[in-house]
A and B are shown apart, each in its own frame.
Chain A
């Protein structure tokens, strides 16, 4: 379980998070939704220890995240960014194996894990010798996901993982990702600005405004019982139902 309490963070002198609090249960998929600048990516960066909050605590199964503990805790996290975060000078295979090598995993195990994950994300094995720039955006995201899953983490932190894809690929991958999350039973925090994506993938939606929760619940809650005018406008603007 992830517990976030009273999280405050300023960036460049501007308060981005103001007392943000959230509990995420094991196996839950929570979508952080909001306009740009609402603080959703900042929350994710705080969760993986890239940013340290000025106030508030984050605990993973009771272990508080600090500058000292973050390296330990990161072993249980998988992190995927918008463009996959692949290193352009390494082949897809090297992008994956670097994670295993760093933990001292034997080469044979790395090979086996790579095959297993490729099957899981439906990636043809033969393209793994290519460089990131030689494959499609969708394929890059699949490799990014494989790398995040490589050490079998408990938590998946996804920062707009499908944000850079064309609508058709995006739609396709959403379906696959949903199935994958369900099958793996990971605890997932997904950052997105797309209401439909949040609805398809998550069990709970958190709508953020200016670094605090505006409303949380299911899509139906947001749709039929908007807590305030901002929620109403946000939903209307993206209502494709």
Chain B
């Protein structure tokens, strides 16, 4: 554990470039790329942690310094982050500065929340305004998780319009459009700059009570980084109109143009900045994600094996202490991966560690790999026949000899089976690392879901499956080498 922290600390302490963050939707990713390329053109060393999560995760990451800037919306800042209304942009700026955060001039478009339906259905049912929904208490709503939770989202909307709908399904924004296409849901929340509005032929319901606040796009940045980002902030101010943003979104989502290309074209056409972007070929991308993925798996497994086998031995030898250890290790396993990743952000921040990227992913993978190894080490030792245990004792073998020459070798097939299970699970779990910006095979899967691109989803899913099989094969080979031939007769 000490080594794990050491590794994590030392990798964190290295001089860090500026880090741009983005949320898990296309517009945010495009804006993130615009920022990255513009800063790079400005001579800065900069990286982009794509699709890290939702508002909370990005805000926390900005506060703790894991990222230096990210695109945000004024409505979200008021409702979710400051939790108060402001009367002017100047007031908003002052309040943010008090928290150590700077805000750029508005970029020029207003991406407000809206509710939408398929145009044909809306006309058939005679729905044009949000208040019309009152008359259809059984209409099927499918709203994004964040919208369902946010104060300025569903709870407030339901109250303001006195909507009778209960048991609303929460689902991913990108999945919602597809569910709507299938007819599983009839009303979705959407962003007014979504390219899907025209792509899926949706009708935006009029916000007749003027419930939704304005969501002017801005850039939030750490004041410590102000001198580095100021000139780019200034240049981007007021440069992206609503129509332009819808167009950029459409190019990325519907035309499947990579976000960095969309961003580069925008900078060239609208700001006369010529930046070079590299398009990786498919095999380059797979190689890159394989390396990222393997890194997550191998490092976390290394430490898990190092810690879990001794834990298993302790559980086998010390009944009381063992019960506690086993309970703790099992309890960790029941925490959903996504929850664990998000839960890790704050405590890691207190330790001065990054709450996004490799660190939380490695820690989560490490914890998830413990149980199978601890369990199998325990059962491997417990399964040693009593007469052999007794013989070892009467032969006066020392505790050390007994452990290293008798118990562990006899338990080895079981221990290796445990490691194998942990490894295969780890390869699968590691895809979730992409949720906190750790890369790996989860990245193409996540992007693929966002862009509705099955090819991209398979680009992550297939190599993950193959890697799991390869790991299993390597282990079968290793098992043949390590386990005494005497145990295989």
Specify which of A79, A89, A132 is in contact with B391 (CB 8 Å cutoff): A79
A-B pairs with lowest CB-CB distance, top 4: A131-B486, A89-B484, A85-B391, A133-B489
Looking at B1-9, B402-410, B447-455, the stretch in contact with chain A turns out to be B402-410
Contact-residue bracket for chain A: 20 to 34
Nearest residue (CB) in A for B389 is: A50
Q: Is B10 an interface residue (CB 8 A)?
A: no
CA distance A82 to B409 in the complex (A): 23
B395 at the interface (CB under 8 A from A): yes
In the assembled complex, the Cα of A102 lies from the Cα of B406 at a distance in Å of 13
CA–CA, A76 to B58, complex, Å? 71
Question: Residue on A with the closest CB to B395?
Answer: A99
Which residue from A81, A83, A88, A147 sits with its C-beta under 8 Å from B487?
A: A88
Please measure, in the bound complex, the distance between the C-alpha atom of A91 and the C-alpha atom of B406, giving whole angstroms: 12
Contact B394 A79 (CB under 8 A): yes
Contact B398 A89 (CB under 8 A): no
Cβ–Cβ < 8 Å partners of B391 in chain A: 79, 81, 85, 87
Interface residues on B, range: 20 to 34
* Pair A81/B387 contact, Cβ less than 8 Å: yes
Contact with A along B365-406 (1 / 0, CB 8 A): 000000000000000000000011011111111100100011
Q: Are the C-beta atoms of B394 and A87 separated by less than 8 Å?
A: no
Could you tell me if B484 and A90 are in contact, using CB atoms closer than 8 angstroms?
Answer: yes
Is A134's CB within 8 Å of the partner chain B? yes
Q: Other than A79-B394, A85-B391, A131-B484, give 4 A-B pairs with Cβ distance below 8 A.
A: A81-B390, A81-B391, A91-B486, A102-B401
Decide if A132 touches B486 in the complex (CB within 8 Å).
Answer: yes
The reply to whether B410 and A89 contact each other, CB–CB distance below 8 Å, is yes
The residues of A with any CB-CB pair to B shorter than 8 Å are: 45, 48-50, 71, 74-75, 77, 79, 81-83, 85, 87-91, 98-99, 102, 131-134, 147
Q: B395: which of A89, A98, A133 is its contact (CB, 8 Å)?
A: A98
A133 engages B486 (CB within 8 Å): yes
User: Which single residue of chain B is at the shortest CB-CB distance from A71?
Assistant: B396
List chain A residues, Cβ under 8 A from B210. Answer: none
B137 near A: Cβ within 8 Å? Answer: no
Inter-subunit contact A74/B396 (CB<8 Å): yes
With contacts A81-B387, A98-B401 known, is A90 near B396, CB below 8 A? Answer: no
**Docked-complex contact B395 and A90, CB < 8 angstroms:** no
Q: Which residues of B contact A45 (CB under 8 A)?
A: 390
Q: Please, which residues of chain A bring their CB within 8 A of the CB of B396?
A: 71, 74-75, 102
Shortest distance in angstroms between A56's beta carbon and chain B's nearest beta carbon?
A: 20
Cross-chain contact A98 with B405 (CB below 8 angstroms): yes
Interface residues of B (CB under 8 A from A): 387-388, 390-398, 401, 405-406, 409-410, 483-487, 489
> What would 10 A/B residue contacts be, using CB atoms closer than 8 Å?
A74-B394, A74-B395, A74-B396, A77-B394, A81-B387, A85-B388, A87-B391, A88-B484, A131-B489, A147-B395
Cα A91 to Cα B489 in complex, Å, equals: 12
Residue of A nearest to B489 (CB): A133
Contact A102 B397, beta carbon cutoff 8 Å: yes
Residue of B nearest to A99 (CB): B395
* Cα(A132)–Cα(B488), bound, Å: 11
B37 to nearest A CB, angstroms? Answer: 61
Q: Tell me, rounded to whole Å, the shortest Cβ–Cβ distance linking B425 to chain A.
A: 28
Cβ A50 vs Cβ B398 within 8 A: no
Tell me the nearest residue of chain B to A72, going by C-beta: B396
Complex CA–CA separation, A2 to B23 (angstroms): 81
Contacts of A77 in B (CB 8 A): 394
A102's contact among B395, B484, B487, B489, by CB below 8 Å, is which? B395
Chain B residue nearest in CB terms to A101? B401
A128 to chain B, nearest CB (A): 13
**Which residue of chain A lies nearest to B392 when distances are taken between CB atoms in the complex?**
A87
**Using Cβ atoms and an 8 Å threshold, which residues of chain A touch B410?**
87-89
Which chain B positions have C-beta within 8 A of A131? 484-486, 489
Answer whether A50 and B390 are a contact pair too, CB < 8 Å, given A90-B484, A98-B401.
Answer: yes
> How far in angstroms is the closest Cβ of chain B from A152?
14
Q: Which residues of B contact A82 (CB under 8 A)?
A: 387
Expressed in whole angstroms, the Cα–Cα distance for A71 and B489 within the complex equals 33
- Chain B residues whose CB sits within 8 angstroms of the CB of A85 once the complex forms: 387-388, 390-391
Give the most central of A48, A102, A133: most B CB within 10 Å: A102
